[in-house]
Amino acid sequence: MPAKPREIVLQSSVFAVEKLSIAIGAGECVTRHIVRHPGAVCVLAVLPHDQLVMIRNFRVATGQWMHEFCAGKLEPNEDPHDAARRELIEETGYDAGKLESLGSFYTSPGFTDELMHAFVAHGLRHCGSALQPDERIEVVVRTTAEFDALARSGEICDGKTLATYLRWRLLT
Amino acid sequence: MPAKPREIVLQSSVFAVEKLSIAIGAGECVTRHIVRHPGAVCVLAVLPHDQLVMIRNFRVATGQWMHEFCAGKLEPNEDPHDAARRELIEETGYDAGKLESLGSFYTSPGFTDELMHAFVAHGLRHCGSALQPDERIEVVVRTTAEFDALARSGEICDGKTLATYLRWRLLT
C-alpha cells in the first residue's frame, strides 16, 4: 500500500503536526513534518508622547519572562482584526479607537505555516484586562527610544515583536 | 499512576514535540504541547553599494516562494557562528570575510523554543553554493531601499528576515 502523502500525526490545543512525503526528483522522496497553526495576531499599541504599550509575558516554551507586544492565536473562524481588538483588551486592558493592519508575516516558515497578522492600535481607552487562567502577564509602557535600546541589547528577543515594529517604522 | 509532567510525544528530523502538564493554581493543571527545536541561524550578507544578498526559497510549509535572508538549523553541537558561515556558503555561494553577531531572538515563543541566532556578514567572496537535495533556492541581490519597499508591501513576509534586519538597522 503506498504511503499517504499527507497525514496529521499529532493534534494539540494550539497546533497540529502534519507528516508529508515530498518528491525531490528521480523517484526519491523525503519525509517532512510541518506544524500547522491557525494563525495569530500581534498588536503594537501607541499611547501619546511616543509611548508603546507592551507586556512582560512568562513563556512556558522558553522558561522566561519576555518583553512583547500583545498577541494571541486566532479562534476558529475569527477575523484577525477582531482577534487583535480582543487580545489587546484581554492582555493590556486597553480598547483601540483605531486599529490598522501592518500586513502579515510567517513566524518560522522552515517548519510551520503560522501566519502573524500585525496591527497598530491608536486612540487607546483603558477598560481593564481579562487574562486567561494560564496567562502570566504584566503591562509595561516603553517609549520608542527605550524600545530601540531594549531591542539593541537583546532584552527584546521576541521575533514577532521585532518584525511588527520594523513594519510600523517602515509604514508610518 | 500520576501523569508524567514532561514527555516527548513526537520526534521529527527537525524538531520534537513535548507534552507538559502545568499547574495554574488551586490544584488545577493544563496540558500544553511545545515544539522543541535545536535552534537556527539567519545571515544578513552585505555587498558593496548598499546591497544585500538574499534568497528566494520555496517553503513547503507555506506552499510559496519567499524572499529571505539565508538561514538554517543548527547541526548537533554546532556553534552558531560556524553554522552561519556554513549556511551562507551552502545557500548563497558566498564566504564571509567577517561575521558579526546581531544577537538572538525566539521565532514564536507561544509554542516553540526555536532560538534564531542572527548575524551580519561582510567581506563576501564568491566561492559557489552547495544546496541540499530538498532545497529550492535562488540567490537575489536587493538594495536596502528595495528591501524597505518589499518589507512595506508585504512581499518580504518572513519573520526572521524582518527581525534580523531591524537588529542590523538598530546596531549599525
Structural domain contains residue B68: yes
Nearest CA in chain A to B36: A61
Q: Provide the domain limits for residue A146.
A: 40-171
Structural domain contains residue A120: yes
Per cent of chain A over pLDDT 70 is: 98
Average pLDDT of span A136-149: 96
Structural domain contains residue B92: yes
One domain for residues B93 and B119: yes
Of the candidates B60, B68, B111, which has its C-beta nearest A32's C-beta?
B60
Residue B166 CA: distances (Å) to CA of A39, A48, B90, B120, B123: 23, 23, 24, 12, 21
- Report B:96-115 residues touching A (Cβ under 8 A): 103-115
What pLDDT score was predicted for residue A3? 58
Judged on CB neighbours under 10 Å (0-12, 13-18, 19+), B87 is buried
Structural domain contains residue A70: yes
- pTM of the predicted protein model: 0.95
Structural domain contains residue B131: yes
What pLDDT score was predicted for residue B24? 77
Average pLDDT of span B117-139: 88
One domain for residues B22 and B95: no
Q: Where are the beta strands (DSSP E) in chain B?
A: 6-11, 16-25, 28-36, 40-47, 51-59, 64-68, 70-73, 94-95, 98-106, 115-122, 125-126, 137-143
Residues 6+ apart with CB under 8 A from B13: A31, A32, A33
Q: State the nearest Cα–Cα gap between A5 and chain B, in angstroms.
A: 13
One domain for residues B107 and B130: yes
Q: State the nearest Cα–Cα gap between B92 and chain A, in angstroms.
A: 17
One domain for residues A100 and A166: yes
One domain for residues A85 and A53: yes
Judged on CB neighbours under 10 Å (0-12, 13-18, 19+), A18 is middle
- Give the CATH number for residue B77: 3.90.79.10
What pLDDT score was predicted for residue B169? 98
One domain for residues B23 and B69: no
CA dihedral B62→B66→B72→B73, nearest 10 degrees, is: -20
Question: Given pLDDT bands bounded at 50, 70 and 90, which one contains residue A27?
Answer: confident
Structural domain contains residue A118: yes
Question: Given pLDDT bands bounded at 50, 70 and 90, which one contains residue A26?
Answer: confident
What pLDDT score was predicted for residue B2? 55
Structural domain contains residue A1: no
Q: State the nearest Cα–Cα gap between A20 and chain B, in angstroms.
A: 9
State whether the Cα torsion B73-B78-B80-B86 is positive or negative.
negative
| Residue that wins the pLDDT comparison between B4 and B110 | B110
Of the candidates B12, B73, B170, which has its C-beta nearest A151's C-beta?
B170
Is it the case that residue B96 has pLDDT exceeding 70? yes
One domain for residues B24 and B63: no
Question: Given pLDDT bands bounded at 50, 70 and 90, which one contains residue B1?
Answer: very low
Residues 6+ apart with CB under 8 A from B120: B43, B44, B45, B46, B99, B100, B102, B168, B172
Mean pLDDT value across chain B: 94
One domain for residues B20 and B62: no
The x, y and z cell numbers of residue A84, run together, are 487583535
Is it the case that residue A155 has pLDDT exceeding 60? yes
One domain for residues B18 and B77: no
Task: Using the structure block, give the residue that is written with the C-alpha cell 551562507.
Answer: B88
The interface pTM score, or ipTM, of the predicted complex is 0.95
- Report B:65-94 residues touching A (Cβ under 8 A): 66, 68, 71-73
- Tell whether B151 is within 8 A of chain A (Cβ): yes
Q: State the nearest Cα–Cα gap between B60 and chain A, in angstroms.
A: 8
Judged on CB neighbours under 10 Å (0-12, 13-18, 19+), B36 is middle
Task: Using the structure block, give the residue that is written with the C-alpha cell 532545497.
Answer: B135
One domain for residues B49 and B29: no
Main-chain dihedrals φ then ψ at residue A85, nearest 5 degrees: -65, -45
- Tell whether A1 is within 8 A of chain B (Cβ): no
One domain for residues B44 and B31: no
One domain for residues B137 and B78: yes
> Hey, what amino acid is at A11?
Q
The x, y and z cell numbers of residue A120, run together, are 497598530
Mean pLDDT value across chain A: 94
Residue B151 CA: distances (Å) to CA of A168, B66, B154: 10, 12, 5
Average pLDDT of span B64-86: 97
For B117-143, letters b (16+ CB in 10 Å) and e give bbbbbeebeeeebeeeeeeebebeebe
What pLDDT score was predicted for residue B4? 66
Question: Given pLDDT bands bounded at 50, 70 and 90, which one contains residue B133?
Answer: confident
Total structural domains in chain B?
2
Q: Give per-residue pLDDT as tens, A104-129.
A: 999 999 999 999 999 999 999 999 87
Nearest to B162 by CA among A70, A143, A104, A50: A104
